Structure 1
Amino acid sequence: MAKAGVRRLSSRVAVQARFGRERARVVAARLPSRRDSVVRHRPSARRAGQEAQATDDVLVKIAEVKSKATELASLGLDPVGTREPGDDLGESEQALVRGIRAAGEVLCEGLLEREVEVKLLLLAALTGEHLLLLGPPGTAKSELARRLSKVCHGRYFERLLTRFSVPEELFGPLSMKGLEEDRYQRQVDGYLPTAQVAFVDEIFKANSAILNALLTLLNERLFDNGAERMEVPLLCLVGASNELPESEELDALYDRFLIRRTVGQVSSQGLRDLARLASSGTTTRQFHTDEAPLSLEDFLSCRDRAIASVEVPDRVVDLLVQLREHLQDKCEPPVYVSDRRFTKCVTFLQVAAFANGAKEVSVYDCLLLQFVLGQRKEDGDKVLDFVLENISSDPGILQNELSLLGVFGRACRVLQSSSGDTSELLSECEALVSSLRGQHESFNSALELGFPHLRGSLWYSPQQVASAGQVLTPPMKENLKKIEQLLEEILMVKLCLEGSHHAEVLKKLLPKRLKQYEKGVSKTA
């Protein structure tokens, strides 16, 4: 009986085993084979490989574009050479430039620490404007005017005004013969109406009787002699005063002096040299007309010749406009700049550039505006600071950066769509590259050559050049790096457009510009 139980158990096990094998065979038939599994999963592996290959291609293209852009950016960034004054002018203009420089040397001889005043006086005469010297007595103010009359061969007139001065002292006595004939007329010969160069000390003590005639004479170069209005040959009047005018009725007279300069005593460091000059008699040296390198006609024609031959670029015009707005709207107290003074500034800068032998006004010439714009002594420092900041920062850098951002965004759209004309974008890239190279050349030559526009100028002393260089150098170096970076970035955009690369390449090359562009788009939306 036990054996029978064993046989039944074995038979059951065998059946179960056979059933298990059949079940396994069915399940195995339903499952894919190992080979089928490999074949079925091969497309996803291929896609992964393709994606990896695409990523590698993007990285390779990014590296190539970066390398080539860096190489192209470094080409043509060498500083330019120096230019001799007058190289751009004709023969007669070059002779005038040489004469102006020689005249400056003649005027300076025997004077100590008056180089700036001499140059401003010479520039005032060449422009046909008037110079106001503010300072204590005994600081060579009248000596400067007398020397100018010798240099330009002009008739000279000098007078000291007091509160009791009468018009006859400036404009001449009344004509007795004219009164007999019922004519109110002055004998002007030898007085201010017939002078080419004049010096009027304590000019703000002029009373109303003198003031009315003086205003017309200074600005329009006209004098009413009785019923007759006569033209006066006045080239330059040098006014002197110990202090600024306090009465409002003198504001118009104060505005007639385009150039203003505060004159101080000789410094303590220069007193020894002053004593030596006095002991040698150099301070009292008399000038002779044969030493004058310029004629009166040269002085009279310089202004018109400068206007005809010297251009005023938009960069300088923009600076003048921004400077006036800054002085009147952002300074405290505001600095008033009349329309007459603003327009005269343009001519003033043209003459300054012409005397330097240039065909175009430079932003460096605008440093002279510290002596032209301003009502008080401290206003000159505000003008100087503004001009120096404008030169070192150059608003054109920001404009080029904004242009780069616009070109970048449009290039991304064109490359993304893989269609569209890229010729217009490439032209904009070329223009932007040219502008950036020009800015780089200007900044780099200024730094490497020690500001040649300043050093080569007739109007700046070595001390003024050194002082301006100290202020300009640090921000210029920073902006030079920024220009180089912008140049490299626009070249990357240009290379991507020329190679028809995918937009992804350009976006990865310039992630900062991508964020700026997307931010701008979101704000617009």
Structure 2
Amino acid sequence: MRGESAATETARSLRAITDELSGKFWERDDVVRTLVVSVLAGQHALLIGPPGTAKSELARELTGRIEGGNYWEILLSKFTAPTRLFGPIDVASLARGEYRQVYEGRATQAHIAFIDEIFKCSTAALNETLGLLNERIYHPENGGAPIHCPLISAITASNELPTGEDSAAIYDRLLVRLEVGYLVDPSNFAALVRSAVQLPVTAKRTTVELAALQHAVNVAVPSVAVPDPIVDAVCTLRASLRRKELVASDRRWRQSVRLLQASAFLDGRQEVADGDLAVLTHVLWDSPTERPLVEREVLQLVNPDAKEALDLDDAIAELEAELDARAGRSREELSEWAIKEANKKLARAGKRLTAMLADATTAGRSTATLDRVIIRQRAVHARVLTEALGVDASMVQAQL
């Protein structure tokens, strides 16, 4: 039986995997960590965003770090038959008068799955897909006894939100919802361009054994304590969101507790702390338009930096909107606005965000929101420098 030291080693390996993937995928730190937490919690996650944002590559990189596990992936369409997911009919057996499915290499035997374009699941495959995600079971085509599937976690992806009742049923079963967009920070985009012409570098590749991961999911994570102050905080958060007409189901709240435990386990703790509540920003919304409000409510409850950081984010967004509104005006007018207003405000915001980041890092608090706002500040500042002040784009990184 694996002891505490083995669980500690598993958490250490998963932290190393998180760091390695965050270093490879720019502006994805929070996404990577939350995906690892969702796997540890035995829950399913959705990556939603436009094409070309490395959703598939990120999912494959993470799932490929699990040694000894059965990995399965599929790209769904409205015409995908259930047998494509769960196993084709054995033609040789059928010729002998036997009805048999071949389950090898299909979802029925997968420990980790990646399902692309999840909301294009065909009507024919819908019920069985829901059964896989909900209960980890599959009802064979011949009507035999249900097959129990070893699925730990499914990472799913889509370029768009669900539109019909069938896809909405799947959406409801995906506990973690992560928005993935195009790169924002100019320096990260420059690094992306350079990577296209640079020789690939062999990077460190930490892995974790399937048995160790299963022990963490089934034993170590559920053993993490959830103290009463955390329960009180969750109750307070639920009441705050309900006042704003943001209502999540009791099932979703209950499943979220395992995410909190998984977050603490990943950090090497045996008790859930306030900072773990930040993961709920990816759980308690249905529409992306609701996410900022959920984020504000969650983070103001657990993070003293949150309100100021989000206020700065709003101010930065207003400056970007004003820059867009001034498009087409003379360079002189743009320059005057940039020098007298925008450049100063953005510089002050950047200085304050940097100081807040240092304080949060020293205190051991989550920096996910600060990191995101800092990236946006750099992006908007770069636009002001290039579009309003005519600074050479190659000099923007040095300016910032």
| Superposed pair shares fold, TM > 0.5 | yes
Is 1:99 matched up with 2:3?
Answer: no
Measured in 2, the distance between the counterparts of 1:267 and 1:388 equals 22
The match for 2:298 among 353, 367, 387 is: 387
CA 1:93 to 1:191, structure 2 compared with 1: closer, same or farther past 3 Å?
A: closer
Structure 2 match to 1:345? 256
**Unpaired runs of at least 5, structure 2:** 305-355, 376-400
For 2:293, the aligned partner's letter is: K
Is 1:214 matched up with 2:129?
Answer: yes
Is 1:280 matched up with 2:194?
Answer: no
The match for 1:237 among 151, 154, 158 is: 154
Measured in 2, the distance between the counterparts of 1:201 and 1:222 equals 20
Contact 1:454 1:465 in 2 (8 A): no
Map 1:296-445 to 2 at 5 A. 296-327=210-241, 329-331=242-244, 334-391=245-302
Structure 2 match to 1:32? none
Is 1:116 matched up with 2:30?
Answer: yes
Contact 1:127 1:348 in 2 (8 A): yes
For 1:330, the aligned partner's letter is: R
CA 1:318 to 1:464, structure 2 compared with 1: closer, same or farther past 3 Å?
A: farther
Contact 2:303 2:365 in 1 (8 A): no
The match for 2:116 among 192, 198, 201 is: 201
Contact 2:12 2:268 in 1 (8 A): no
Contact 1:145 1:197 in 2 (8 A): no
1:222-278: CA deviation from partner (whole Å, max 9, x where unpaired): 111230311212222121111111112322211211111111112261221001222
For 2:193, the aligned partner's letter is: A
Contact 1:162 1:206 in 2 (8 A): yes
**Unpaired runs of at least 5, structure 1:** 1-88, 394-446, 468-525
The match for 1:450 among 359, 376, 394 is: 359
CA 1:461 to 1:268, structure 2 compared with 1: closer, same or farther past 3 Å?
A: closer
Is 1:463 matched up with 2:371?
Answer: yes
The match for 2:168 among 232, 244, 251 is: 251
1:458-496: CA deviation from partner (whole Å, max 9, x where unpaired): x847615979xxxxxxxxxxxxxxxxxxxxxxxxxxxxx
Measured in 1, the distance between the counterparts of 2:165 and 2:149 equals 27
SS at match of 2:155: strand
1:143-199: CA deviation from partner (whole Å, max 9, x where unpaired): 112112321123222222222222222222112245456654421211221222222
Q: CA deviation at 1:456?
A: 5.9
Q: CA deviation at 1:141?
A: 0.9
For 1:275, the aligned partner's letter is: V
Is 1:271 matched up with 2:186?
Answer: no
Measured in 1, the distance between the counterparts of 2:302 and 2:27 equals 28
For 1:463, the aligned partner's letter is: D
SS at match of 2:167: helix
Q: CA deviation at 1:140?
A: 0.9
Farther-moved stretch of structure 1 (297-306 vs 133-142): 297-306
The match for 1:128 among 42, 47, 50 is: 42
Contact 1:145 1:198 in 2 (8 A): no
Q: CA deviation at 1:374?
A: 0.8
Contact 2:31 2:178 in 1 (8 A): yes
Measured in 2, the distance between the counterparts of 1:219 and 1:133 equals 18
1:15-67: CA deviation from partner (whole Å, max 9, x where unpaired): xxxxxxxxxxxxxxxxxxxxxxxxxxxxxxxxxxxxxxxxxxxxxxxxxxxxx
Measured in 2, the distance between the counterparts of 1:251 and 1:183 equals 37
For 1:311, the aligned partner's letter is: A
For 1:254, the aligned partner's letter is: Y
For 1:455, the aligned partner's letter is: G
SS at match of 1:158: strand
For 1:450, the aligned partner's letter is: D
SS at match of 2:146: strand
Measured in 1, the distance between the counterparts of 2:303 and 2:202 equals 44
1:88-133: CA deviation from partner (whole Å, max 9, x where unpaired): x953333223212111123334322222222122112111111101
TM-align CA RMSD: 2.9
For 1:279, the aligned partner's letter is: V
Structure of higher CA gyration radius: 1
CA 1:460 to 1:209, structure 2 compared with 1: closer, same or farther past 3 Å?
A: same
Contact 1:133 1:141 in 2 (8 A): yes
Is 1:294 matched up with 2:205?
Answer: no
The match for 2:72 among 138, 145, 157 is: 157
Contact 1:96 1:298 in 2 (8 A): yes
Measured in 1, the distance between the counterparts of 2:30 and 2:80 equals 31
TM-score normalised according to structure 2 size: 0.71
CA 1:293 to 1:232, structure 2 compared with 1: closer, same or farther past 3 Å?
A: same
Contact 1:152 1:292 in 2 (8 A): no
Measured in 1, the distance between the counterparts of 2:172 and 2:199 equals 38
Measured in 1, the distance between the counterparts of 2:361 and 2:193 equals 35
Contact 2:275 2:365 in 1 (8 A): no
Measured in 2, the distance between the counterparts of 1:461 and 1:138 equals 23
Measured in 2, the distance between the counterparts of 1:196 and 1:143 equals 18
Contact 1:364 1:454 in 2 (8 A): no
Q: CA deviation at 1:453?
A: 8.4
